[in-house]
Amino acid sequence: MNAAAPALTPTSRALTWCLHLLVVALLVLAAGRAVADGGPRAAATVAAAAVCAVGYAAGPALPRVRRSRRAAACWLAAVGACWLVLLVLTADAVWVAFPLYFLQTHLLPRRAGLAAVGATALAAVAAFAAHQGSFAPAMAIGPVLGAAVAVAVVWGYQALYRESEQRRRLIEELTATRADLARAEHTAGVLAERERLAREIHDTLAQGFSSIQLLLRAAERALPAAPDTAARHVGQARRAAVDNLAEARRFVSALTPPALEEATLAGALERLCSTTSARHPVTARFRLTGRATPLPTAHEVALLRVAQSALANTVHHARATTAEVTLGYLGDQVAVEVADDGVGFDPGRLDGPGPGPGPGSGGFGLAAMRARLDDLGGTLTVESAPGHGTALAARLPVTPEPPARDDGSKAHR
């Protein structure tokens, strides 16, 4: 009924109404017995019971009593004074002490509540003994036992309420934490997907569009003097556009790159070198060393994308005439090395031509390569110097390919 008391739940609200009805019933009982006995104090008893009932009813109706512990204490004191008057008039008022125990224990601080309960029990025993004209220890059993039961019940309820509130707060915290975690996971997933798309776009579409642009420029320069050469460049640009479209459809669906669908990593790298040599004024050669070992698709895709990005930078920025792509199986590691005879750059500055993430390469190449390899536990090293070409090496640990299924089909990539 006040700010310090536990908030009412449906169960506690039902118990509160039961307590109200008990107080009213006991006051009606005291007044009714006085009228039935027809004693000289019957009218005074009825009046005192009515005043006590009105005073009790005022407590739940006054908002201040419900919000303030001090106001609740004053209200209890007023109700207690009315009860003492009724107790002087009739011994039946002793029974009203029982609901008063609950109110005092529930609404007052623990020490004050115990003191109020003790005073109420003492007043009940003393008044009952006065009405009987004698005192016997049995007279104290009822009021004292009722006080003990009321204190135990209220304190037990308060302990359960506190535990329930702690659990409720814990559940709310866990729910909030779970929601925060879900939002964080969603954000991380969005960022990871953005990074994946950015890498794929840089290593496939962006490089492909650059190749198309170079081929169309070459065709433009060949016209009108060499229409056959121009037509060949246009055809190569068209094939590059077709390849780019296939790549776009694959990486949007997070599928295996077309180059790896029907070929091994070595075959895909050899085809990459052949395509680069056919489309651009760079002679790209492929070399395989070591004994081929089955690799997870993620490893093959990462190494292929690194080679694509490195060769694209060689074509567009290094002004190289030759490039060599080497796929090497080195026991517990697999490596792809791309070396060219271009103008080179300073890897410490990362702002020259070649595969560095500087202005010359669009600012993303080397960072994208490293991100791919870091995700798989690999490393990337770049060796270059102005005027001395560039050598790039991507290394990944070799892990076994998942076993094939019993029906002989290839494991899902």
- Coil, strand, or helix at residue 41? coil
Maximum distance among all Cα pairs of the chain, rounded to whole angstroms: 138
- pLDDT of 412 higher than 60: no
Q: Which residue would you say has higher pLDDT here, 3 or 232?
A: 232
Inter-residue contact 28 to 108 (CB < 8 Å): no
The pLDDT of residue 250: 66
* 265-400, CATH topology level: Heat Shock Protein 90 (3.30.565)
How do 322-329 and 283-289 pair as beta strands?
A: parallel
- pLDDT of 115 higher than 80: yes
What pLDDT digit, counting tens, does each position of 159-213 carry? 888 898 899 999 999 989 888 888 888 788 778 767 767 777 777 777 778 788 8
What pLDDT digit, counting tens, does each position of 297-327 carry? 889 888 988 998 899 888 888 889 999 999 9
CATH 3.30.565.10 intervals, the chain? 265-400
What burial letters (b/e) apply to 125-149, b meaning 16+ CB within 10 Å? bebbeeeeeeeeeebbebbbebbee
- pLDDT of 348 higher than 80: no
Lowest model confidence (mean pLDDT) among 139-143, 374-378, 385-389: 139-143
Q: Which residue would you say has higher pLDDT here, 63 or 19?
A: 19
Confidence of residue 403 (pLDDT cuts 50, 70, 90): very low
Q: Measuring CA to CA, which residue among 383, 401, 403, 400 is closest to residue 392?
A: 383
Confidence of residue 340 (pLDDT cuts 50, 70, 90): very high
Q: To the nearest whole percent, how much of the chain has pLDDT over 90?
A: 13
Question: By CB neighbour count within 10 A (0-12 exposed, 13-18 middle, 19+ buried), where does 29 fall?
Answer: middle
Range list of H helices, 38-62: 42-61
Q: In sequence order, which residues have a C-beta less than 8 Å from that of residue 358 and are 6 or more positions away?
A: 345, 349, 350, 351, 352
Indicate the pTM of the whole model: 0.45
- pLDDT of 262 higher than 70: no
The pLDDT of residue 13: 75
Determine the average pLDDT of the residues in 331-336.
91
Confidence of residue 392 (pLDDT cuts 50, 70, 90): very high
Angle of helix 10-37 relative to helix 42-61, nearest 10 degrees?
170
Q: Measuring CA to CA, which residue among 379, 384, 393, 376 is closest to residue 360?
A: 384
The pLDDT of residue 357: 39
Q: Which residue would you say has higher pLDDT here, 322 or 42?
A: 322
Determine the average pLDDT of the residues in 52-77.
81
- Written as six digits, the tokens of 127 are 């008044």
The pLDDT of residue 378: 92
- pLDDT of 146 higher than 50: yes
- pLDDT of 39 higher than 80: no
- pLDDT of 351 higher than 50: no
What pLDDT digit, counting tens, does each position of 49-59 carry? 888 888 888 87
Pairwise CA distance, residues 63 & 323, whole Å: 88
- pLDDT of 410 higher than 50: no
Confidence of residue 222 (pLDDT cuts 50, 70, 90): confident
The pLDDT mean for the chain works out to 80
Pairwise CA distance, residues 350 & 370, whole Å: 14
| Residue 226: Cβ within 10 Å count | 13
How do 283-289 and 333-340 pair as beta strands?
A: unpaired
Q: Which residue would you say has higher pLDDT here, 195 or 111?
A: 111
Q: Which residue would you say has higher pLDDT here, 288 or 245?
A: 288
- Written as six digits, the tokens of 174 are 């866990």
Which stretches of 251-358 are assigned E, i.e. beta strand?
283-289, 322-329, 333-340
Lowest model confidence (mean pLDDT) among 61-70, 222-231, 256-265: 256-265
The pLDDT of residue 12: 66
Confidence of residue 261 (pLDDT cuts 50, 70, 90): low
Pairwise CA distance, residues 355 & 370, whole Å: 11
Question: By CB neighbour count within 10 A (0-12 exposed, 13-18 middle, 19+ buried), where does 68 fall?
Answer: middle
Confidence of residue 14 (pLDDT cuts 50, 70, 90): confident
Pairwise CA distance, residues 196 & 82, whole Å: 80
Q: Which residue would you say has higher pLDDT here, 149 or 12?
A: 149
Determine the average pLDDT of the residues in 18-39.
84
Residue 194 CB-half CA count within 13 A: 6
Q: Which residue would you say has higher pLDDT here, 351 or 92?
A: 92
